[in-house]
Structure 1
Amino acid sequence: MLRTLFSLVISAAVLAGAYVYTFGVPGSVAAYFGPQQAADSSAGAAPSGRGGGGQFGGRGGGRSTTVVLSPIEIQPYQDVLRAIGTATALRSTNVMAEVSGEVTAVNLEANQMVAAGDILIELEARNEALNLEIAEAELAYARETVARYEQLQTNGNSTVTGVALSEARLALSLAEAKAGLARVSLDNRTIRAPIAGRLGLSSMDVGDSLANGSLIVTIDNAEALIVEFELPERAIGILQPQQVVRAMTPTFVGRVFEGRVTSFDSRVDPVTRSVTVRARIENPDGLLWSGMTFSVELSQASAPLAMVASTAITWSQSGASIWIDNDGAALAVPVTILYRQDESVWLEVDLPEGTLVVTEGAQKLRDGAPITSADAPRGRNSAGDAAAPNARRDTAPRAGAPT
């Protein structure tokens, strides 16, 4: 029984010592001691995990809590959207054969630049040339007939009736049409470039037999590229025509190519929940090729907002808040988190730039508790005032001390 009582007394003494070491001597207990003993007891205690003011009453009623303070910065938030897209030439075409025949001449060197109208392939055209000669001869005869009939009528010759002259004029029109068809047939034996650009690979060679509808060669006009990519649904709020985009390609590591949005879809894809966007990138030197893959970035800056470290945010039943330095005392300010990026958050809060915010140690605070910056000189709080009253020494000499 005596041993149990002794154990209880020892345990109570250990708990009391731990409490005094952590929180200091309570004011109600310190009243039984002289001022010097209470001050010595408080001075010998370790720094408290909570501010004395928060634990025992009014502001400045205990030791301050050491915290890390950082100023509020006012900066816009950059909302960056990233996507992968594929580029196509501004103008591109597949040259197809509209007639069949034997190839007699080829001008299809790969990667060669051609102008619109340049000859690419010539086909055997002897029959078409002869048909044109016949049609032109018939056309010449019809013209002479009409001219002769008109002259006879002018001279008053009654042998040429109006009906005969009308038939001659009809024959002339038919001859002109026939000559035109023969000329088109001959022109079709020469295949020309429909647009200016760079030629792709082709397997055509002299002597090959070309079938109607066969692919001859591709032509890409890459003076500008159109990059098509998908952005998430939230991009709708920032998409605008002529908006600047940044494009990077693994072909040229470290280089950034600037482009502008030319168009975007009018609806969100119901499966991917994304919107298709097209951007134009100028390519005057021909450095970029059609079919290249690009990593595209599109950004939009918000209005200037208060920015703090994410560690400054504390949570309670009423929502998010931050602790600020209010003349050396902690003050909780409710906030609304608008954006978060890496270790920073942008807030909706009415505080000026430079306001000191607790970024470390906020979990130990209560409203009105004294705080000291970790960067402040020892023995002074964040406002530069002297240390808290419970660390003040009595200037009166102790009993028995030498005067």
Structure 2
Amino acid sequence: MRRLMTLVAAAAILAGAYTVTFGMPAPLSAMLGNDSTAGTGADAANGARPGAGMPRGPGGRSRATTVVTTALENQPYESVLSAIGTGSALRSVDVVSEIAGTVVEVNLAANREVAEGDVLLRFDARIQALNLEIAHAELELASDTVARYERLRQSGNTTVTDVTLSEARLNLRLAEAAVGLAEVALEDQTIRAPISGRLGQSDVDVGETLSANSVIVSIDQSDVIVVEFELPERAIGMLAETKDVLASTSTLTGRVFIGNIVSFDSRIDPVTRSVTVKAEIDNSEGLLWPGMTFAVRMTQESKPLRRVPSTAITWSRSGSSVWIDADGVASQVPVTILYRQNDAVWIDADIPEGTLVVTEGAQKLREGMQISTPGGAPADRRPPADGQTPPAARLMDGNAQAPAKEPT
């Protein structure tokens, strides 16, 4: 018995809630003698769409459902991609000794700016200097021999044969090559900067004996910093159109640097599903150092798109849609969601700009219901231009008609 009473009470509560929300059904109203059906015949006579399912007020008048609307606007969507990258110098080299030798001079102060060709280190070059002097002496002797033989041939002396003269000339060429080799060997005893830049730390000191292929110091040409970072696969389209990125580092809080994309990989990494990108940042001020970590942002702005608050989107089995105010009548329009950001949604829909879209109260609406804004007044609508049909009215279903006028 108690269970039966509970079911009856629950049914009564549901019926009351339905009546408060949607009004009393017409058949039940007729049975109770309610005059709410008084306008039904007049509505049918006027060809208006029956008001079944619409809230009804006293005397059978259609009662407008209160909703909140906002005008549909066009705004571009800004796509933002973020990544973490590492900076490196535009050019960076390790200076390596090609020969072995004993160090007699060093100019390797850390963080010192050097120009290309500056002397960094010298080896003991006494042996090479003597070899060069010997080569010059042999060259001078070979040159004198060739000159003497040629004078004898010109004076008619037959003791100097063609073979003798050819051998003398060959010895001259060999002596010239020996001088060149001696000069190279002497120059190799001096290590010079291959590029302009800033010196790194070096442990080499005067008196040390270095072996061949020993690393002496590193040089970074950091007037331009190259930041390497990875972007997800969906960034491929942006890379083809966007050339600038914004980079910041925790070392310089509040500073934002503009970088220029110079290259990106030609394939997607099969493991990370990302693409490697390199961007250059001007560092003429010398504030950025190679090895710094950068937070990189890449933005792209789309063409203007329809934008509505997220509360305007409703869902059903057929997909997403919005409700619009078509001259005070609710009309449902299907939409395709393109982007979401915070409380805003960009959609693709055949809805004119400025159309009033329901943002609150959409769950109470049915197709063709009358709607009004808070306070009971009809929802604000933009006046039609030059007497034309308002844009929202053109979106209504071809079978939908404006509600019938209230009986006088």
Residue of structure 1 in register with 2:346 after alignment: 346
Residue pair 2:308, 2:345 contacting (<8 A) in 1 also: yes
Matched, 1:382 2:344: no
Name the amino acid aligned to 1:333: V
Residue pair 2:22, 2:54 contacting (<8 A) in 1 also: no
Residue pair 2:23, 2:56 contacting (<8 A) in 1 also: no
Residue of structure 1 in register with 2:246 after alignment: 246
Residue pair 2:85, 2:229 contacting (<8 A) in 1 also: yes
With over 3 angstroms needed to count, the CA separation of the structure-2 counterparts of 1:61 and 1:171, relative to structure 1, is farther
Bigger CA drift: 78-87 or 25-34?
25-34
Residue of structure 1 in register with 2:163 after alignment: 163
CA RMSD across the alignment = 3.3
**Any idea what SS the aligned residue of 1:182 has?**
helix
Residue of structure 2 in register with 1:372 after alignment: 372
Residue pair 2:102, 2:210 contacting (<8 A) in 1 also: yes
Name the amino acid aligned to 2:53: Q
Q: Give TM-score scaled by structure 2 length.
A: 0.82
CA distance in 1: counterparts of 2:348 and 2:5, whole angstroms: 59
Residue of structure 1 in register with 2:71 after alignment: 71
Residue 242 of structure 1: how far off its partner (Å): 7.1
**Any idea what SS the aligned residue of 2:278 has?**
strand
Residue of structure 1 in register with 2:388 after alignment: none
Residue pair 2:132, 2:179 contacting (<8 A) in 1 also: yes
Residue pair 2:54, 2:63 contacting (<8 A) in 1 also: no
How many aligned positions are there? 370
With over 3 angstroms needed to count, the CA separation of the structure-2 counterparts of 1:16 and 1:209, relative to structure 1, is closer
Residue of structure 2 in register with 1:356 after alignment: 356
Residue pair 2:145, 2:168 contacting (<8 A) in 1 also: yes
Residue of structure 1 in register with 2:334 after alignment: 334
With over 3 angstroms needed to count, the CA separation of the structure-2 counterparts of 1:14 and 1:108, relative to structure 1, is closer
Matched, 1:228 2:214: no
Residue 129 of structure 1: how far off its partner (Å): 0.8
Matches within 5 A, 1:186-335: 186-240=186-240, 243-335=243-335
CA distance in 2: counterparts of 1:9 and 1:75, whole angstroms: 53
**Any idea what SS the aligned residue of 1:304 has?**
strand
Bigger CA drift: 242-251 or 185-194?
242-251
Name the amino acid aligned to 2:244: V
CA distance in 2: counterparts of 1:187 and 1:154, whole angstroms: 41
Q: What does the per-residue CA deviation read over 1:57-80, in whole Å, with 9 as the maximum and x for residues that have no partner?
A: 899953222222122221121222
Bigger CA drift: 293-302 or 313-322?
293-302
Residue of structure 2 in register with 1:48 after alignment: none
With over 3 angstroms needed to count, the CA separation of the structure-2 counterparts of 1:34 and 1:166, relative to structure 1, is closer
**Any idea what SS the aligned residue of 1:303 has?**
strand
**Any idea what SS the aligned residue of 1:258 has?**
strand
Name the amino acid aligned to 1:373: T
Residue 151 of structure 1: how far off its partner (Å): 2.2
Name the amino acid aligned to 1:175: A
With over 3 angstroms needed to count, the CA separation of the structure-2 counterparts of 1:211 and 1:382, relative to structure 1, is same
Residue of structure 1 in register with 2:53 after alignment: 55
| Percent of paired sites with the same residue | 58
CA distance in 1: counterparts of 2:7 and 2:221, whole angstroms: 93
CA distance in 2: counterparts of 1:21 and 1:153, whole angstroms: 134
**Any idea what SS the aligned residue of 2:195 has?**
coil
Residue 154 of structure 1: how far off its partner (Å): 2.2
Residue 198 of structure 1: how far off its partner (Å): 0.6
Q: What does the per-residue CA deviation read over 1:153-199, in whole Å, with 9 as the maximum and x for residues that have no partner?
A: 22322222111111111101111111111111111110000001111
Residue pair 1:53, 1:61 contacting (<8 A) in 2 also: no
Q: Give TM-score scaled by structure 1 length.
A: 0.83
Q: What does the per-residue CA deviation read over 1:90-149, in whole Å, with 9 as the maximum and x for residues that have no partner?
A: 111000111111111110111111111000001111111111111111111111111222
**Any idea what SS the aligned residue of 1:302 has?**
strand
Residue of structure 2 in register with 1:45 after alignment: none
Runs of 4+ in 1 over 3 A off after TM superposition: 5-36, 56-61
Residue pair 2:245, 2:299 contacting (<8 A) in 1 also: yes
With over 3 angstroms needed to count, the CA separation of the structure-2 counterparts of 1:53 and 1:146, relative to structure 1, is farther
CA distance in 2: counterparts of 1:240 and 1:332, whole angstroms: 38
With over 3 angstroms needed to count, the CA separation of the structure-2 counterparts of 1:150 and 1:53, relative to structure 1, is farther
Residue 289 of structure 1: how far off its partner (Å): 1.1
Name the amino acid aligned to 2:167: E
CA distance in 2: counterparts of 1:101 and 1:87, whole angstroms: 36
Residue pair 2:22, 2:55 contacting (<8 A) in 1 also: no
Name the amino acid aligned to 2:104: T
Residue 353 of structure 1: how far off its partner (Å): 2.0
